[in-house]
Each structure stands twice: as structure tokens, then as C-alpha cells.
Structure 1
Amino acid sequence: MTGFLTLLQKEWKEQTRNFKVLWIPLVFIIFGIIEPITNHYLPEIMKSVGNMPEGSEFLWPEYSGEEIFMSLLGQYQFIGILVIVLAFMGAISGERKTGTATLLYVRPISFRAYFLSKWVVINGIVLASVWLGFFAAWYYISILFNSVNAGEVIRFIAVYSLWIIFVVTVVLAFSATFSTGVAATLSLLLTIVFQLVDSLIGAYWTISPWKLPQYASEVFVGSTDTAGFWWSICVAAIAVLILIFIGVMMSKRNSAKTTV
């Protein structure tokens, strides 16, 4: 792939220059810290500000560390994905619109290298952010709740990481295919809205990339449908490869639309 390492360095410098390597991890870390702390101290907060009659007791369910992890996953499923889509919806379409891609397209570069350089760097940033968020949560969970088995946490994060890679690939493929606004709309539709659909009627099937967050959560409860789990991983991996192929092809096809 012509110029892959050069494009990789260029993409890393660009993400560093716009501070995405800083603020995206901070968002995930902050939510990772807030979730266990809030759930631990919320009963005390409610007692102090709830204006409850004297002598009454405020009953609050006692959560386990595993349940806090699943609750945090729910936060990432909405806010985290929203951050990913908004941060990278213009990764390719934005360069076409502003004309900065012209400086690349006039050079003898491979569009496969161009797309994959973005895919590698962005996935690196997002995955590192998600991992840091979960590890920060794990630290506070072990202090405020109970110690969660390390093997379960690693499997939980590994399964969820494949879902994150799928989300990033969807965003980049749509960014290569459509304008920034359309890419953002379709990315949110395919990731967040389809998740809602799957949660409502997904009991009728067990194989889907949108099942990965559910299977990640089931690591803690030990009730995973093994066949559906592995087939969902295979389908998600194949979908990622297909989306990469589409992204490369559309990056090349739409290069003529670049603003000069």
C-alpha cells in the first residue's frame, strides 16, 4: 500500500492537533469514574436533599460491581457512540468538502492506504478511550463495591471492543460515501436506532452485530448463548471487512467531488 506509513503519521498528527487524542479519552474516563461513584453515594445524596420526613428510611438497591459495569456499558451505548459519530463523521467527507484532500489525491497514494490509515488511528484512539474508561471504573468499583473477576472484565471489554470497531467502521464507510450530515444521520440510525429495534424485537434472533453489547454484558451473568455469541462475532467481523471494502471504493469514487 503506497504511502501507508506516511498517511498513518499524517492522520495521527491531525488527531493530535485537533486534541481528539485528549478529549475523547477524557470523556470516557469521566463517565467511567462517575458511574460507580454516583451509584455508591446516591443514597446519601438523596437522604440529604430529599426533604424526607423525620424517621423515614430511604431504601436503595445494593448493586454489585458487575451490575455497575453493565450500567456503564449502557452509558457508553448512547453517549459514547454519539461522541464517536460526532467526532469522526467528517473524517473523510470533511476533507473532501474543505479541499484538504486535494493535497493527497494529487499524489500517487493508494486509496486503500488512505482509508486504512484513518481506520487504524481512529480505532486506536477510540479503543484506548473505552479501555481507559472501563479500567477507571474497575478501579473505583473494586474500592466502593466488590472485586470483579479480572478474566470476566477482560472478556467483557474484548467483546465490546469488537462492537466499537464495528461502529467506527460504519462511521468511516458512511463518511467516505456521503456528505458529513448524511454520514452522521445514517451512522446514528445504524448504530443507536437499530440497537433500540434490536432491544424491542431482538428476541426473535440471536445472531447480529447489534447483539455484541448484550453478549458482553452476559459475560458477568454466565448465560451466554454460545452458538449465537460466536456467530455474532463472525458476522460482525465480516461486516467490518465489507464496510472497509466499501469505504475504500467510495473514497476513490468520490475523490472527484473534492472541493478545489
Structure 2
Amino acid sequence: MAGFGVLLRKEWREHIRNFKILWIPLVFIILGVLEPITNHFLPEIMKSVGNMPEGMDFPWPEFRGEDIFASLLGQYQFIGVLIIVLAFMGTISGERKNGTATLLYVRPMSFPAYFLSKWLVVNALVLGSACLGFMAAWYYIEILFNSVDAGSVFAFIATYSLWLIFVVTVVLALSAWLPTGGAAGVAIMITLVYQIIDALIGAYWMVSPWKLATYATYWFQVDTSMSNLWMSASVTGVVIILLMLFGIFMSKHKAAKTTV
């Protein structure tokens, strides 16, 4: 693939210049730190600001480290996914609109290399940020709650990482196809709105990319069947490949619409 190494370096330098390499990991780390700390001190916080009648004792549930990981997952499923969509919705469409892509298209470059370079760098940034967030949460979980099995934690992170790769691929494929605003709207519908639909009526199907976050928590449960997890992971892998092929095709097909 012509110019692949050059395109990789170009993408990496671009994310350094626009500070995404700094603020995206920072957001994930902050969320990861706040989740265990907030849950640990929540009873004291509510006693001090809750204005509860004197003598009233509200029974707080006893959280375990596994519960905190699941709770943090909920934060990442909304805030984290929204950040991914908003941060990368113009990755390809934005270059076409501002004319930057013209400087690339006139050089000997293959569109598979063009799309794949963006896909690899964005995934590296997103997965690295999520892993840092989970590691930060794990540190405080070990201090404030109980020790969580390392094998289960890494399997949990690996399963959720596949979902994040799916989200990134959806965003980039839509950015190759639609203008920036349209890509953002459709990506939010696919990644966020459909999560709500799956939560409401998802009991009618057990295999879906949108169930990966739920199935990731199965690693913390004993004697839970993993067959649906493996099937969902396989389906997600196939969908990711198809979306990548679609993104490469649309990058080439929409090249003529680049602003000069």
C-alpha cells in the first residue's frame, strides 16, 4: 500500500497538534478515577448534603470491585462513545471539506492505505485511553474495595475493546460516506440510540455487537455461559471488516467531491 508509513506518521502528528492525544486519555482517566472514589464516599456525601431527617439511616448497598467496573462501563458507554463520535466524525469528511485531502490525492497513495492509517491511529488512541482509564479505576478499586482477579479484568477490557473498535470503525466509515454533520448524527443513532433499543427489546436476540458491553461483565461472574459472547464477538469482527471495506470504497468514491 503506497505511502502507508507516511500516512501513519501524518495521522499521528495531526492528533498531537490538535491535542487529542492529550485530552481524550485525560477524560477517560478522570472518569476511571472518579467512579470508585465517588462510590466509596457516596454514603458520607449523602449524609453531609442529603438533608435527611436526623436519626434516619439509609442502608447503602455493599459494592464490590466488579460492580465498580460495571458501573464505569456505563459511563464509557455514554460519555466515552459520545467523545469518540464527536472527536472523529470529521476525520475523512473534514479533510474533503477543507481541501486538505487534495494535497493527499495528488500524490501516489492507495485508498486502502489512506483509510487504514486513520483506522489504526484512531483505534490506538481510543483503546489506549480506555485502557488507561480502566487501569486508573483498578488502582483505586484495589485500595478502596476488594482485589479483583487480574485475568478477569484483562478479559473484560479485551471484550470491551472490541466494542470500541466497532464504534471507531462505524464513525470512520460514516465519515468517509457522509458530510461531518450527517456522519455524527448517524453514528450517534447507531452507537448510542441503538443501545437504548437493545436494552429495551434486546431480549429477543442474544447475538449482537451492542451486547458486547453487557457480555464483558460476564468475566466477573462464576459459571456463566460464554457462548453468546463468542458468537457476538465473531459477528462484530465480520461487521468491522465489512465496514472497513465500505469505508475504503466510499473514501475513493467521494474523492471527486473534495474542495479544491
What's the TM-score, normalizing by structure 2?
A: 0.98
Deviating more after overlay: 71-80 vs 199-208: 199-208
Structure 2 counterpart of 1:71, one-letter code: S
Structure 2 CA distance for aligned equivalents of residues 224 and 162 of structure 1: 20
Question: Contact 2:93/2:179 (CA < 8 Å) preserved in 1?
Answer: yes
Which residue pairs with 2:199 in the alignment? 199
CA gap of 1:195–1:225, structure 2 versus 1, over 3 A, is farther
Give deviations 1:34-82, integer Å, cap 9, x for gaps. 0000000011011111222332223211111000000000000000000
Give deviations 1:144-183, integer Å, cap 9, x for gaps. 0101110000000000000000000000000000000010
Which residue pairs with 1:116 in the alignment? 116
Question: Contact 1:215/1:224 (CA < 8 Å) preserved in 2?
Answer: no
Structure 1 counterpart of 2:21, one-letter code: V
Displacement of 1:12: 0.2
Q: List gaps (5 residues or longer) in structure 1.
A: none
Which residue pairs with 1:40 in the alignment? 40
Aligned to 1:219, the other structure's residue is in SS state helix
Question: Contact 1:96/1:255 (CA < 8 Å) preserved in 2?
Answer: yes
Structure 2 CA distance for aligned equivalents of residues 119 and 156 of structure 1: 23
Question: Contact 1:47/1:58 (CA < 8 Å) preserved in 2?
Answer: no
**Is structure 2 residue 82 aligned with structure 1 residue 82?**
yes
Aligned to 1:59, the other structure's residue is in SS state coil
Structure 1 counterpart of 2:205, one-letter code: W
Which residue pairs with 2:254 in the alignment? 254
**Is structure 2 residue 13 aligned with structure 1 residue 13?**
yes
Structure 1 CA distance for aligned equivalents of residues 119 and 222 of structure 2: 33
Displacement of 1:223: 5.4
Which residue pairs with 1:175 in the alignment? 175
Structure 2 CA distance for aligned equivalents of residues 186 and 248 of structure 1: 18
Structure 1 CA distance for aligned equivalents of residues 148 and 228 of structure 2: 25
1:24-103 equivalences in 2 (<5 Å): 24-103=24-103
Structure 2 CA distance for aligned equivalents of residues 79 and 227 of structure 1: 29
Which residue pairs with 2:147 in the alignment? 147
Aligned to 1:60, the other structure's residue is in SS state coil
Question: Contact 1:212/1:233 (CA < 8 Å) preserved in 2?
Answer: yes
Question: Contact 2:218/2:226 (CA < 8 Å) preserved in 1?
Answer: no
Structure 2 counterpart of 1:254, one-letter code: K
Structure 2 CA distance for aligned equivalents of residues 135 and 112 of structure 1: 33
Structure 1 CA distance for aligned equivalents of residues 231 and 45 of structure 2: 44
Structure 1 counterpart of 2:2, one-letter code: T
Which residue pairs with 2:138 in the alignment? 138
Counting aligned pairs with the same residue, the percent is 66
Give deviations 1:1-32, integer Å, cap 9, x for gaps. 00000000000000000000000000000000
Structure 2 counterpart of 1:77, one-letter code: Q
How many pairs does the alignment contain?
260
Displacement of 1:227: 2.2
CA gap of 1:171–1:32, structure 2 versus 1, over 3 A, is same
Which residue pairs with 2:215 in the alignment? 215
Structure 2 CA distance for aligned equivalents of residues 129 and 252 of structure 1: 30
Structure 2 CA distance for aligned equivalents of residues 228 and 74 of structure 1: 20
Which residue pairs with 1:228 in the alignment? 228
Q: List gaps (5 residues or longer) in structure 2.
A: none
Which residue pairs with 1:245 in the alignment? 245
Structure 1 CA distance for aligned equivalents of residues 246 and 161 of structure 2: 22
Q: For the aligned residues, what is the CA RMSD?
A: 0.9
Structure 1 CA distance for aligned equivalents of residues 251 and 3 of structure 2: 16
